Amino acid sequence: MPEEINRVLTDHCSNYLFAPTEKAKQILLGEGIHDNKIFVTGNTIVDALYQNLSISEGIINPLNDLELISKGYFLVTAHRQENVDVKARFEGIIKGLELIADEFGSPVVYPIHPRARKMMNHFGLKTNGIEFIEPLDYLSFLQLEAKAKLVLTDSGGVQEEACILKVPCVTLRDNTERPETLEVGSNVLAGRNAESILGETKAFKFLPKHSFTTECA
């Protein structure tokens, strides 16, 4: 992944590295970074997420605007080039979302990225049961994310945020740069196959609320 290549190059040019988790430190050590350069600091995303969520709760309520009930809907983000620029992959994701809407009878809300909408039109993909909305500002998206039944995404940042918020996450990719989310059970990799996306979502169906084994950061 381009992000990971940039991370490796930057790390090897740096004098000091502030790793968010012990696992991240072990990865750095495995890449030959000397121990005296690495400091495990914790994940600053956790602080930023809770601070912004608190701010958002005082000024907006997108659930009212969209007529949604807390924990009564699925939230989707899918925008990566590897997904939306390949018809078979994007089609598999869309079909998987339709299967989820049909299986659970709950809204599947997709704030669609302009790139994804463009490619959807380009491929002539037709959908049924998915509620497409315009892209949201960060604070509104945080509200929807925190109160979703489950998140389906191809975003690394959303995987991380969902884990922190203790919202189950199904990742629409075959790999992830957030391996801690897999280890604690907050996240699973489903790829782009429709049946796999539905199957991994159903696997979370009977998961007790907040039952992840530990914090992801």
How many domains is the chain built from? Answer: 2
Structure confidence at residue 169 (pLDDT): 97
Residue 111 falls within a domain, yes or no?
Answer: yes
* 22 & 54 share domain: no
Q: Return the bridge partners of 108, or none.
A: 74, 130
Residue with tokens 């084994």: 213
* 82 & 15 share domain: no
Residue 199 falls within a domain, yes or no?
Answer: yes
* 108 & 32 share domain: no
* 74 & 111 share domain: yes
Q: pTM for the full model?
A: 0.87
Report d(CA 122, CA 109) in Å as an integer.
21
Structure confidence at residue 215 (pLDDT): 56
The CATH number of residue 170's host domain is 3.40.50.2000
Structure confidence at residue 211 (pLDDT): 53
Report d(CA 29, CA 199) in Å as an integer.
36
Structure confidence at residue 179 (pLDDT): 87
Residue with tokens 């620029």: 85
Structure confidence at residue 213 (pLDDT): 47
- For residue 141, the tally of other CB atoms under 10 A from its CB is 18
Q: Catalytic residue numbers?
A: 79
* 154 & 177 share domain: yes
* 35 & 10 share domain: yes
Report d(CA 181, CA 186) in Å as an integer.
6
As averages over each run of 10 residues, the pLDDT of the chain (217 residues) reads 87 96 92 97 92 91 95 96 96 98 97 96 95 96 96 96 96 92 94 97 70 54
Residue 69 falls within a domain, yes or no?
Answer: yes
**What residue numbers bound the domain in which 169 lies?**
50-203
